[in-house]
């Protein structure tokens, strides 16, 4: 028997959309969320949270074993990794936060329909195959939020054993002896960093000319330098020739070929980890039946309030163009919820979105790079300051990296900030707020930064925009 359920707002996909579901409930709407797997989606179960749990141990291990003696900790070199204890901690963290999301949805009286959903109209979903049974659910409005899955390359399709994606890497119970990572974007360099700290031989293969190709080129250069120092081999402008892959007793043997010319390197590793980006999960959910819905390369096209153009139908997160990041998805979900509830939230702006990559050294950026500003025909002035010159960085024992600020040449308005170094992700909050309130580099410098803190790197970089940095 098929049940029916009606809501003011129905959400298809219970990943980061849960934040918007709660916001809508706070604003007085009845809300239903359809989820076929665990609540919290990729971020909580297969992405941000478990990967950062591993990275935290990687950092701790590095600090204790490689820096412990210098910090006065005797016997620290002998400390090793217990991967099964780490996996237990990783899973406990995920579990705790999935239960937290379940609790918050319940507290806000959001109904969760457990099962797979297919659109039966712009604001209705047929749910089946889960513990909620068969349900015809509908809403006055609907938010599509079905997320994304790893992409692969022809000939490098994951087999779950020797050729894997981040999904399988996260489930593994041990560290490979050696790994070749294809793709040096955020996910690729995070795995390179953590596997290296765990003692694996790591090779990074990137098709474009530099690693972290979406970041400022100075950041790519600094990461390359530090990765080289850490023993991570990097092949840029290169790819694995899938025709050459063969299984060996130890894993896989293959050829890394240069993108141009005839450079070839014979290589072997236990695993290939494919980290070439994500594809929106928009097939098989009934989109083709919705008249007037615009999609491009699988992405649902929306305006800056997440409206699809089909009345009452919204979309958020990894299925829409823009940065595929958890906080972007949850912010978009809140904007959609508030719009649906009749409020007039500020539009979503990608140029205000912070981006963090949790390799070591960490990378964080917001707004325009110098090159992007130039492409837009803007005249800029740039200031940069190295962590090496900062007392706190010396105390922390992490002196690689810098902060770089890009400001409008005429007004001094902060256009972008790019940080590579210790706690870069946390440091990014200040330039992100500065971008929102349209602060100038001079105003960032004018705001007094406590001493000794890593935040001083921002004040000095802001001073450097006008050639006035003190400690260089």
Ligand X SMILES: Cc1cc2nc3c(=O)[nH]c(=O)nc-3n(C[C@H](O)[C@H](O)[C@H](O)COP(=O)(O)OP(=O)(O)OC[C@H]3O[C@@H](n4cnc5c(N)ncnc54)[C@H](O)[C@@H]3O)c2cc1C
Residues forming contacts to ligand X in the complex (CB under 6 A) are 12-17, 34-37, 41-43, 46-48, 51-52, 116-117, 145-148, 166, 187, 281, 285, 317-318, 324-327, 329, 358
Which of 407, 317, 426 minimizes the C-alpha distance to 364? 426
Nearer to ligand X, 43 or 110 (CB): 43
Cis before 361? omega within 30: yes
Shortest separation between residue 87's beta carbon and ligand X, angstroms: 16
Helix, strand, or coil (residue 149): strand
Distance (Å) of CA 377 to CA 239, 372, 441: 34, 9, 20
Nearer to ligand X, 17 or 234 (CB): 17
Helix, strand, or coil (residue 281): coil
Classify residue 231 as left (phi > 0), alpha (psi -120 to 50) or beta.
Answer: left
Shortest separation between residue 273's beta carbon and ligand X, angstroms: 10
CB 334 within 8 A of CB 24: no
β-pairing verdict for 124-128 and 135-144: antiparallel
Distance CA 268, CA 362 (A): 28
Options 114, 235, 449, 451, the catalytic residue:
451
Distance CA 146, CA 282 (A): 7
Q: Is the dihedral of CA 328, 331, 333, 339 positive or negative?
A: negative
Shortest separation between residue 105's beta carbon and ligand X, angstroms: 13
Shortest separation between residue 119's beta carbon and ligand X, angstroms: 9
Shortest separation between residue 32's beta carbon and ligand X, angstroms: 12
Nearer to ligand X, 37 or 466 (CB): 37
Instruction: Kindly give, in sequence order, each residue whose CB lies less than 8 Å from that of residue 245, ignoring residues fewer than 6 positions away.
Output: 155, 156, 163, 252, 253, 254, 272
Nearer to ligand X, 356 or 462 (CB): 356
Shortest separation between residue 196's beta carbon and ligand X, angstroms: 17
Q: Which residues pair with 247 in a beta bridge?
A: 252
DSSP class of residue 51 equals H
Which of 126, 63, 46, 123 minimizes the C-alpha distance to 326? 46
Shortest separation between residue 97's beta carbon and ligand X, angstroms: 13
Which of 239, 234, 232 minimizes the C-alpha distance to 258? 239
Nearer to ligand X, 16 or 465 (CB): 16
Shortest separation between residue 149's beta carbon and ligand X, angstroms: 8
CB 363 within 8 A of CB 215: yes
- The per-residue b/e assignment along 252-264, b for 16 or more CB within 10 angstroms, e otherwise, is bebebbeeeeeee
Nearer to ligand X, 56 or 218 (CB): 56
Nearer to ligand X, 186 or 382 (CB): 186
CB 165 within 8 A of CB 158: yes
Nearer to ligand X, 14 or 422 (CB): 14
Nearer to ligand X, 35 or 206 (CB): 35
Active site residue 451: yes
Return the half-sphere exposure (C-beta side, CA atoms, 13 A cut-off) of residue 243.
1
Rounded to a whole number, what is the largest CA-CA distance in the chain? 74
Cis before 452? omega within 30: yes
Shortest separation between residue 122's beta carbon and ligand X, angstroms: 16
Kindly state the tokens that stand for 319.
Answer: 């299925």
Return the half-sphere exposure (C-beta side, CA atoms, 13 A cut-off) of residue 190.
25
Helix, strand, or coil (residue 446): helix
Catalytic residues: 451
């Amino acid at each position: 028997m098929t049940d029916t359920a009606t809501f003011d707002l129905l959400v298809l996909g219970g990943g980061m959309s849960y934040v918007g579901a709660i916001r809508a409930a706070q604003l007085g709407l009845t809300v239903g969320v359809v989820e076929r797997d665990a609540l919290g989606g990729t971020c909580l179960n297969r992405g941000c949270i478990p990967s950062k749990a591993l990275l935290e141990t990687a950092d701790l291990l590095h600090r204790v074993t490689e820096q412990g003696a210098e910090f006065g900790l005797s016997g620290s070199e002998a400390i090793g990794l217990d991967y099964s204890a780490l996996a237990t901690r990783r899973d406990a963290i995920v579990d705790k936060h999935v239960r937290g999301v379940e609790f918050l949805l319940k507290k806000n009286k959001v109904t969760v329909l457990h099962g797979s959903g297919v659109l039966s109209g712009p604001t209705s979903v047929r749910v089946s195959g889960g513990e909620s049974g068969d349900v015809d659910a509908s809403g006055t409005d609907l938010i599509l939020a079905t997320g994304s899955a790893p992409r692969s390359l022809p000939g490098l399709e994951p087999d779950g054993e020797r050729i894997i994606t981040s999904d399988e890497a996260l489930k593994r119970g041990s560290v490979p002896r050696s790994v070749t990572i294809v793709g040096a974007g955020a996910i690729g360099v995070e795995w390179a960093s953590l596997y290296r700290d765990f003692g694996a031989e790591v090779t990074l293969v990137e098709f474009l000319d530099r690693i972290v190709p979406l970041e400022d080129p100075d950041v790519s250069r600094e990461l390359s330098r530090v990765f080289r120092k850490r023993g991570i081999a990097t092949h840029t402008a290169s790819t694995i020739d899938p025709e050459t892959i063969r299984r060996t007793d130890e894993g896989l043997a293959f050829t890394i070929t240069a993108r141009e010319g005839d450079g070839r390197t014979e290589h072997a590793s236990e695993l290939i980890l494919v980290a070439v980006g994500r594809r929106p999960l928009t097939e098989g959910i009934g989109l083709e039946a919705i008249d007037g819905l615009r999609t491009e390369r699988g992405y649902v096209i929306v305006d800056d309030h997440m409206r699809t153009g089909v009345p009452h139908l919204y979309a958020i997160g990894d299925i829409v163009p823009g940065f595929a990041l958890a906080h972007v998805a949850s912010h978009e979900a809140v904007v959609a919820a508030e719009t649906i509830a009749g409020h007039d939230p500020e539009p979503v702006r990608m140029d205000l979105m912070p981006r963090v990559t949790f390799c070591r050294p960490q990378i964080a950026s917001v707004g325009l790079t110098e090159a992007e500003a130039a492409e837009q025909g803007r005249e800029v002035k740039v200031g940069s300051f190295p962590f090496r010159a900062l007392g706190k960085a010396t105390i922390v024992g992490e002196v690689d990296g810098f902060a770089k600020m890009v400001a409008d040449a005429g007004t001094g308005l902060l256009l972008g900030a790019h940080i590579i170094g210790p706690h870069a992700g946390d440091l990014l909050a200040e330039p992100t707020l500065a971008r929102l309130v349209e602060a100038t580099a001079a105003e960032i410098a004018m705001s007094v930064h406590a001493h000794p803190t890593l935040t001083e790197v921002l004040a000095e970089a802001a001073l450097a925009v006008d050639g006035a940095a003190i400690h260089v």
